[in-house]
């Protein structure tokens, strides 16, 4: 069952930052469009249709300098939700012993973000870190390698910033649910019954309209698995 959540109106400086990210996102989308592509088909290239569960690119996109990483893939149930697949974004831990999951971004086949979500620890085998730390790493997201995926890197960085208000809510909601679950049962991080911890729908046009208006933004989050 879905419910609505109010995202507070951003402060003037933050609003300016979000608008700048929105402009950068549109520029990347336009560049891809001029090539006859979008951020999803850019990953597929000239090859056959994407294979479910396979990572794109095959060995993931990893920047050894900045420590960020991402990949795209699709699950069988994605099409039932009207989605093509989704990105998983990560940041290397300070000790370099693994990665922390920043966010999942579900996509349409036309290259538009549809949904953002967080997952339980076991889903991506991440090194769990609390919301404040994840948000700090996400704010610094930048990738320059592999250079082949430069436009995808830019698209992801701009999208993370543009939808940061939703990301703040998602990560704190993730932590709230984990805290509540740990009271009821041990080992929740490895509980295969708990997959998605928080999620919300994304609407590019509504986000731009909100940044040009005043007041809070109402978002909808769907059923949690």
User: What is the tens place of the pLDDT at every residue in 116-149?
Assistant: 999 988 888 889 999 999 999 999 999 999 999 9
pLDDT, greater one: 18 or 181: 18
pLDDT, greater one: 163 or 2: 163
Please report which residue ranges of the chain form alpha helices under DSSP H: 12-34, 39-44, 121-124, 131-139, 150-162, 164-184, 204-211
Q: Which pair of tokens denotes residue 166?
A: 């939703």
Contacts of 187 (CB under 8 A, 6+ apart): none
**Where in the chain are the domains?**
3-221
Chain-centroid distance of CA 165 in Å reads 12
78 neighbors 85 (Cβ within 8 angstroms): yes
User: What is the tens place of the pLDDT at every residue in 72-88?
Assistant: 998 776 665 688 999 99
What totals of helices (H) and strands (E) does the chain contain, helices first? 7, 8
pTM listed for this prediction: 0.91
User: What is the tens place of the pLDDT at every residue in 26-66?
Assistant: 999 999 999 999 999 999 876 667 777 788 998 999 999 99
Distance CA 108, CA 131 (A): 27
Mean pLDDT of 10-27: 94
């Amino acid at each position: 069952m879905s419910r609505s959540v109010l995202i507070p109106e951003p402060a003037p400086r933050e609003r300016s930052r979000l608008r700048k990210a929105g402009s950068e996102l549109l520029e990347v989308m336009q560049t891809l469009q001029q090539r006859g592509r979008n951020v999803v088909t850019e990953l597929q290239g000239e090859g056959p249709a994407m294979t479910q569960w396979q990572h794109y690119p095959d060995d993931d996109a990893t920047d050894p300098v900045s420590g960020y990483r991402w990949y795209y893939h699709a699950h069988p149930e994605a099409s039932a939700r009207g989605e093509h697949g989704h990105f998983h974004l990560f940041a290397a831990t300070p000790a370099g012993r693994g990665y922390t999951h920043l966010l999942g971004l579900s996509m349409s086949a036309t290259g538009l973000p549809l949904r953002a979500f967080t997952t339980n620890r076991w889903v991506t085998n991440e090194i769990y870190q609390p919301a404040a730390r994840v948000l700090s790493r996400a704010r610094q997201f930048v990738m320059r390698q592999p250079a082949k995926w430069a436009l995808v890197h830019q698209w992801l960085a701009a999208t993370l910033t543009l939808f940061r208000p939703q990301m703040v809510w998602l990560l704190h909601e993730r932590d709230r649910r984990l805290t509540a679950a740990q009271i009821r049962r041990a080992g929740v991080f490895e509980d295969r019954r708990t997959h998605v911890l928080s999620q919300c729908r994304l609407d590019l046009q509504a986000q731009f309209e909100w940044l040009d208006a005043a007041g809070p933004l109402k978002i909808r989050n769907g059923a949690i698995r």
